[in-house]
Chains A and B, each alone.
Chain A
């Protein structure tokens, strides 16, 4: 389909290992967001991309978290030395830019990360 695609859908990793989460946004969407949702909680903003640059990375919880986006398309969120508190669903969303206020953000189905 033409929606936002995330992979893997589920990831179980051992504490201390690195993980990479991938997001394929909707074609033509220049804005891309990463959010994190812990069980029973709301969505926590992590980082925003406009094209390949990240003007707002204020939500990254620590320097173990990083993200990049290439070709104005695919984005990868990397978590180094994973901790149990990193366990959550990581959601990616994309939307059309320029910053039109009433544009919809389309979400992928998320990656459920479990750190054991």
Chain B
């Protein structure tokens, strides 16, 4: 079983739609969680950290369920510029801040 698993998609949605991505992780001792965004042929960039209480940044909402070892990302009012691959990232305890990446979920927003 992979350490971090994501639905690969692609998710094809119209502008203005709400879309949700899920991610599961296998190491229950994981300490930190992130969503990174990667545009085509570009490097990954941090989208947002994920906190236990859930957190929101504009149109983006991240949730963490430690009991189920599950992370989610919700994007409201999708924009064309949201088209990218979204990478779920987990940092295990004692892992020297090593980031374990999921394979990513591809999102395509169309007019």
Instruction: Please indicate whether A and B come from the same complex rather than being unrelated chains.
Output: yes
Q: Which residues of A contact B (CB under 8 A)?
A: 31, 33, 35, 41-43, 45, 48, 50, 55-56, 91, 93, 95, 97, 99-105, 107-110
Interface residue tally for chain B (C-beta within 8 Å): 20
Q: Which residues of B contact A (CB under 8 A)?
A: 31-32, 42-46, 49, 87, 91, 95-104
A109 proximity list for chain B (CB < 8 A):
42-43
Interface of B is mostly: loop
Inter-chain CB contacts under 8 Å: number: 51
CB distance A50 to B96 under 8 Å? yes
Nearest CB to that of A3 among chain B residues? B43
CB distance B104 to A101 under 8 Å? no
Nearest CB to that of A108 among chain B residues? B43
Given contacts A102-B32, A105-B46, contact A56 B96 (CB under 8 A): yes
CB distance A55 to B99 under 8 Å? no
A93 proximity list for chain B (CB < 8 A):
99
10 residue pairs of the A-B complex, CB under 8 angstroms, read A42-B101, A45-B100, A48-B96, A48-B98, A56-B98, A100-B97, A102-B32, A103-B97, A107-B45, A108-B43
By CB atoms of chain B within 10 A, which of A43, A45, A48, A109 has the most? A43
